[in-house]
Amino acid sequence: MKKLSARRRHPLAAVVVLLLALAATGGLYAAFAPADKAQADETAQSLAIKEGHKLYTVGCASCHGTGGQGTSDGPSLVGVGSAAVDFQVGTGRMPAQQPGAQVPKKKVIYTQKEIDQLAAYVASLGAGPITPAEKDYSPEGADIAKGGDLFRTNCAQCHNFTGEGGALTDGKYAPSLEGVSAKHLYEAMQTGPQNMPSFPDTTMPQQQKRDIIAYVNSVNGDETPTPGGFALGGLGPVSEGLFGWIFGLGSLIAVAVWVAAHTAKAKKS
């Protein structure tokens, strides 16, 4: 007995117990904490999917089918991904109203939280492009000049050189890109809405998308660089050519008339 109590009171005993306790807590934390967090994320995610399903049933199922399989009034949403939902609902295109050549942009009727829930539900139907995070689409530090080159080769044939947009065939049109957010620009490239081709990361890496966004922002900003003077509506060679014709040729004619008038006067006197 004596021996035991003596050992119990060993000066190092408290330290040993403390160390053991610390190790146990650390171990327990390591074992349980990440699991807890993952579990919390998972429940938040399944909750979002559940809420999204409710919203979907009310607002989207009539055209896209009860399980997103599509109907004669709307395409299947299996595999379109959360980015497509964020773009379509976030720009007010969806829910679509009346049939027409192209579903137009409208007032957005869902909150961003509801859009995220709808997106979570649609993403749960099949893997597709994921809604980008701010670091994916932020134009900060991107290369505007490179973006301009990329824009002219990939986008200008439909959206015009500075993104004013333009008409396509059969009543379809490429809309103006003025005032479109960086996120929606990115998502449009990711998902290729309606008659627009998609530009997945395999053909157009994220950095190039950010360069394009930086370019579009720069031509839409107030500080549009117009090194040659007036912007002439930014319509490209046509308006610039017209300017050349009217002012260039006009002033040549004026000079010719002036010269002719003066030589005539000189001859008379």
Among 51, 59, 143, 243, binds ligand HEC (CB under 6 A): 59
Question: Would you say 190 and 132 are in contact if contact means Cβ atoms under 8 Å apart?
Answer: yes
- Burial (Cβ within 10 Å: 0-12, 13-18, ≥19) of residue 252: exposed
How far apart CA 220 and CA 224 sit, in angstroms, is: 7
* 96 binds ligand HEC per the rule CB under 6 A: yes
Q: Residues 188 to 207: which contact ligand HEC by CB under 6 A?
A: 188-189, 191, 193-197, 199
As given in the structure block, the two tokens for residue 126 are: 């099949």
Which one of the spans 37-45, 184-192, 219-227, 253-261 is the region binding ligand HEC (CB under 6 A)? Answer: 184-192
- Dihedral-angle region of residue 226 (phi above 0 means left; psi in -120 to 50 means alpha; beta otherwise): beta
Q: Shortest approach of ligand HEC to residue 194 CB, angstroms?
A: 4
Stretch that binds ligand HEC, among 36-44, 175-183, 222-230, 244-252 (CB under 6 A): 175-183
Residue 232 burial (C-beta neighbours within 10 Å; 0-12, 13-18, 19+): middle
Examine residue 185 and tell whether it contacts ligand HEC (CB under 6 A). yes
Q: Which of 145, 224, 135, 218 is nearest to 183 (CA)?
A: 135
Which stretch, 43-51, 129-137, 182-190, 234-242, contacts ligand HEC (CB under 6 A)?
182-190
Cα–Cα distance list, 260 to 246, 255, 265, 269 (Å)? 20, 8, 9, 14
Nearer to ligand HEC, 212 or 219 (CB): 212
Closest CA to 99 of 2, 5, 171, 205: 171
Query: In the stretch 140-169, what mask flags binding to ligand HEC with x, by CB under 6 A?
Result: --------------xx-xxx--------x-
Residue choice 82, 91, 160, 218 for contact with ligand HEC (CB under 6 A)? 91
Q: Which residue has the tokens 């909750």?
A: 47
Residue 82 contacts ligand HEC per CB under 6 A? no
Contacts with ligand HEC: how many residues (CB under 6 A)? 46
Q: Is 67 among the residues that bind ligand HEC (CB under 6 A)?
A: no
Q: Is 180 in the site for ligand HEC (CB under 6 A)?
A: yes
Place of tokens 């579990």: 39
Contact between 60 and ligand HEC per CB under 6 A: yes
Per CB under 6 A, 105 contacts ligand HEC: yes
Among 48, 65, 74, 120, which residue interacts with ligand HEC (rule: CB under 6 A)? 74
Q: How far is the CB of 19 from ligand HEC (least distance, A)?
A: 56
Exposure string for 143-173, b = 16+ CB within 10 A, e = fewer: bbebbbebbeebbbebbbbbbbeeebeeeeb
Tokens 């199922």 — which residue?
Answer: 61
Task: Provide the binding-site residues for ligand HEC, judged by CB under 6 A.
Answer: 59-60, 62-64, 73-75, 77, 80, 84-85, 88-89, 91, 93-96, 102-103, 105, 118, 154-155, 157-159, 168, 172, 174-175, 177, 180, 184-185, 188-189, 191, 193-197, 199, 212
